Structures are given as structure tokens and as C-alpha cells.
């Protein structure tokens, strides 16, 4: 594990810096990437700073990617934010630079990079980037940087709902407010869903299977998505929906992919679920993880494992 000082010194040394993050980016991936890019550009106007990966249609208001050529990697510093493991980096060329830094808040299952800073107690990678900037001699927080980082923190804490929210998280958000950031308009933007997404939420409540333990399963198949007129990415907006139900403690949402396999989204309000995700080609945080299921049999198996985890947790709680 390296220090902020070492990362800051490395940033100083490189003329060209490429910042990447994970595939299917969420606001924290884009916010930590974009916020760090703006911080470096503002502190060092002569450096060339590029942000890369696929654009996210739904989050284009937050950040838009740049075209990165193969030759851009030559002699560059590559920084990857919010990405626990190498296969999830949204650019296969991430190892082609001169030096690689990982900055993340997921459990450090894959310690890649020439330097790394991982704090799995931090609410978000955006919160870590804010601390990195605050500790730097050259970089300074600004309203523009705060825009990205606030969106990342709000995204990963569910607007300060989840237990990873600490007093430091709120102090960091407070600093952003002091910089004059219009947090309310970002909150509004992130709270917004389309009518189709609202219809999907109501479908989620129709099809949800709730076990007496408090474990729940939702399957969003292609038929449901096409009936409502949503694609897989848009369907992800319903992942947190079951958490509002009093009857539900932990849940898994299966979203069917084009090839008929399923992307699994695990969420929990106590029982640890990333160990189940790891058994099914996935991983993530103890209370928020992702995985893959090849068919409905595997979904049934996963639901059984979730029920067992919730029951075990309840026994320990007693
Ligand atoms: P998601 O359900 O896709 O929003 O993912 C929830 C969390 O689990 C995020 O923090 C992801 O970074 C992490 N995650 C999702 N899929 C995987 C995977 N295949 N491997 C490792 N971590 C994952």
C-alpha cells in the first residue's frame, strides 16, 4: 500500500496521464475518474490528461469520455480508479503505460499496479480522491472537481443511506457545499427516473419473491424489459428498489443479458453477500456485489445461498 504523498509525487513526474475506471460505469467510477482528471488539469495546465472507457448513455450528463489512441499510452502514467480487478478495467490497454496506479475502495482481491491505494472502509472512490487532492501540495479542490466527486459519493452511498457513510463522508460533502456546489440539482438529477423506469419498479414489486428469512429474488427478463421498452443498462436503475421493503433484508436482482445469461446484482442491509458473488464469477463489497448466472438453475442456486446467508446472520444476531 502506498501513500497519497507517493501518488502525488508520481503524478508530478508524468507529462501524460490516462485515467480509467471499471466497465458499466456508475457515478462513483465516472466521478472519481473525472474529478481526479480536472484536479490534475487545474494544478498542471501543461500536462496532458485523458479519461477513457465506454460512455454511459444514462450518465453522459456527468462525464464524457475522450478518444485514446494506442500511442497515447507510450510513456504515460495510467491511473485506474474504482476498479477492484484487472478484467473489469474498461480498456484492455491499461497495462501499456509506463507506470500503473490503482486507487479503489473495494476489497483488495487483486493488488494490481506499480502503486496502489485501497481503503475498503471509504464510502466511495470519490471520497478517496477528495482526500488525495486535499493532501496534495499542488492540487486543490474546486467547484468543478466537487461536481464529479459529489455525484460519486451520492451514487455509492445511495444519497447517504448506506452504512459506509461516515462522518468523514459528510464532512467531505460539506466541503463541496462550502465551495458553492449546487448539491440539490445533482441530487435531483440522480433521483430522476423515466416513466419506463418507474413502470419497471412497479413490475419489480409484482414479481419479487420474498423468503420468510428476508432474502428476496427479482428476475427481470428480456420479455419484461422489451414490454416496458427498457434496455439492460436502464433496468439497472431498479437494483435498489427492493431495499425499500420492510420485509426485505438482502436481495439479488437478475437482469437477463442479450445472450440469455443473467447479470446478478446483490444488495444487503447486514448479511455479507460478496462471498456468494465470488462463487458465481463476481465479487464486490460485503453489502453490494455483482456476479453472473448462466441460467435460471444457477439463479435458483444463488437464491438458496442467499437465504442460507441471511439465516446464518440472523442466528448470529440472536
Ligand atoms: P452492481 O450490482 O453491478 O452495481 O455492482 C455492485 C458492486 O459490485 C460494485 O461495487 C461493483 O464494482 C462490484 N462488482 C460487480 N460485478 C463484479 C464482478 N464481476 N467482479 C467484482 N466486483 C464486481
277 and 132 in a single domain? The answer is: no
Q: Whose CA is nearest to atom 2 of ligand 1?
A: 265
- What CATH code is carried by the domain that includes residue 15? 3.90.1640.10
Q: Are residues 120 and 253 in the same domain?
A: no
The last residue of a domain, from among 142, 164, 191? 191
The three three-digit cell numbers of residue 129, written as one number? 480522491
The last residue of a domain, from among 169, 191, 213: 191
State in Å: Cα 119 to ligand 1 middle: 16
Domain count, the chain: 2
* Atom of ligand 1 at shortest range from CA of 289: 8
Instruction: Report which protein residue has its CA nearest ligand 1's atom 13.
Output: 284
Query: Is the same domain home to 116 and 134?
Result: yes
211 and 265 part of one domain: yes
Give CA–CA dist 45/48, Å, rounded.
Answer: 8
Ligand 1 centre from 154 Cα, in Å? Answer: 17
pTM of the model: 0.90
228 and 137, same domain (yes or no): no
Residue pair 239/200 in contact (Cβ under 8 Å)? The answer is no
Domain encompassing residue 30: 4-191
- Indicate whether 13 and 107 sit together in one domain: yes
Rounded distance from Cα 32 to ligand 1 centre (Å) = 16
Let me know whether 122 and 49 are in one domain. yes
The rounded distance, in Å, linking the Cα atoms of 281 and 287 is 17
Residues 177, 280 within the same domain? no
Asked if 50 and 66 sit in the same domain, the reply is yes
Identify the CA nearest to 308 among candidates 281, 274, 280, 271. 271
Of all protein residues, the one whose alpha carbon is nearest to atom 21 of ligand 1 is 283
**Residues 167 and 179 occupy one common structural domain:** yes
Q: Give me the pLDDT at residue 317, please.
A: 85
Same domain, 15 and 164: yes
Instruction: Write the residue with the smallest CA distance to atom 16 of ligand 1.
Output: 290
- pLDDT of the chain, 318 residues: tens digit per residue: 999 999 999 999 999 999 999 999 999 999 999 999 999 999 999 999 999 999 998 899 999 999 999 999 999 999 999 999 999 999 999 999 999 999 999 999 999 999 999 999 999 999 999 999 999 999 999 999 999 999 999 999 999 999 999 999 999 999 999 999 999 999 999 999 899 999 999 999 999 999 999 999 999 999 999 999 999 888 988 999 999 999 999 999 999 999 999 999 999 999 999 999 999 999 988 999 999 999 999 999 999 999 999 999 999 887
Q: Within 6 Å (CB) of ligand 1, which residues are found?
A: 22, 84-85, 88, 106, 239, 265, 282-285, 288-291
Domain boundary among 161, 191, 221: 191
Q: Indicate which CATH number applies to the domain containing 224.
A: 3.10.310.30
Residues 97 and 24 in one domain: yes
Burial profile 49-88: b = 16 or more Cβ within 10 angstroms, e = fewer = bbbbbeebebbeebbebeebeeebbeebbbbbbbbbbeeb
Amino acid at each position: 500500500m502506498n501513500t497519497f504523498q507517493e501518488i502525488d509525487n508520481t503524478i508530478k513526474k508524468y507529462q501524460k496521464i490516462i485515467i480509467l475506471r471499471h466497465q458499466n460505469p456508475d457515478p462513483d467510477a465516472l466521478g472519481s475518474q473525472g474529478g481526479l482528471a480536472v484536479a490534475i488539469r487545474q494544478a498542471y495546465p501543461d500536462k496532458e490528461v485523458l479519461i477513457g472507457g465506454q460512455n454511459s448513455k444514462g450518465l453522459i450528463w456527468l462525464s464524457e469520455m475522450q478518444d485514446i489512441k494506442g500511442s497515447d499510452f507510450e510513456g504515460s502514467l495510467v491511473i485506474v480508479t474504482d476498479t477492484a480487478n484487472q478484467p473489469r478495467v474498461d480498456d484492455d490497454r491499461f497495462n501499456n503505460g509506463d507506470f500503473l496506479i490503482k486507487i479503489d475502495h473495494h476489497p483488495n482481491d487483486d493488488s494490481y499496479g506499480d502503486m496502489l491505494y485501497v481503503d475498503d472502509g471509504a464510502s466511495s472512490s470519490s471520497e478517496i480522491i477528495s482526500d488525495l487532492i486535499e493532501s496534495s501540495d499542488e492540487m486543490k479542490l474546486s467547484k468543478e472537481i466537487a461536481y464529479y466527486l459529489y455525484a460519486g459519493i451520492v451514487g455509492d452511498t445511495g444519497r447517504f443511506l448506506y452504512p459506509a457513510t461516515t462522518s468523514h463522508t459528510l464532512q467531505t460533502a460539506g466541503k463541496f457545499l462550502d465551495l458553492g456546489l449546487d448539491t440539490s440539482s445533482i441530487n435531483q438529477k440522480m433521483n430522476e427516473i423515466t416513466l419506463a423506469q418507474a413502470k419497471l419498479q412497479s413490475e419489480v414489486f409484482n414479481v419479487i419473491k420474498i423468503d420468510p428469512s428476508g432474502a428476496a429474488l427479482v428476475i427481470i427478463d428480456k420479455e419484461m424489459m422489451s414490454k416496458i421498452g427498457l434496455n439492460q443498462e436502464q433496468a439497472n436503475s431498479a437494483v435498489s428498489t427492493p431495499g425499500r421493503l420492510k420485509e426485505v433484508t438482502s436481495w439479488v436482482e437478475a437482469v437477463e443479458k442479450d445472450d440469455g445469461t443473467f447479470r446478478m446484482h446483490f444488495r444487503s442491509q447486514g448479511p455479507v453477500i460478496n462471498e456468494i458473488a465470488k462463487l458465481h464469477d463476481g465479487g464486490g463489497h460485503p453489502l453490494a456485489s455483482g456476479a453472473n448466472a448462466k441460467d435460471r438453475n444457477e439463479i435458483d442456486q444463488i437464491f438458496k445461498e442467499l437465504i442460507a446467508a441471511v439465516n446464518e446472520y440472523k442466528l448470529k444476531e440472536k
